[in-house]
Structure 1
């Protein structure tokens, strides 16, 4: 089973590192932690980035970073290497109850 998604990360070209963490110092100042490992970088799904684009672009600028799209592909196989496919299951009474409760909560 293959699944692909796009994430957004901040990259500091001068240091050749990705934003790993940032912390407010309790004032207008902040500190940022960087990493060379892309897997350790803070990320946000592309859809969430697009909803907050202006704010996140300003944040990237404050960290002296550029915004990058990262395509991630997951490939799930069974331990013996054979293909994995999700099994379809029949809806249960519990599923119906959860759906009803979600509708009532709105």
Structure 2
């Protein structure tokens, strides 16, 4: 798939975090070339904004293993009680406090 961003120039800041999980994404300026992969792997990742937070949590839910999303406080700006709502759908997700990142979510 090809995704082109025309509004917010830093929209793809979370791509490196998705790559850490095994995503095959190539950035070319304001365009991301996304190739499907068999699986994503759990990893420690860092959210940079609201949309990145949601993206990384969802990626963590489909990844094999545990994903820890640091700086999860970004997600609270747009999604009220997201971990409770996802847990109602069967997600194993919880907020954790981790060293220098007191606002993290553990997703598996």
Q: Is TM-score (shorter-chain normalized) higher than 0.5?
A: no
TM value normalised by structure 2: 0.27
Q: Could you state the TM-score of these two structures normalised by the residue count of structure 1? A: 0.27
Larger-Rg structure: 1
Higher relative contact order (CA 8 A, sep 6+): 1
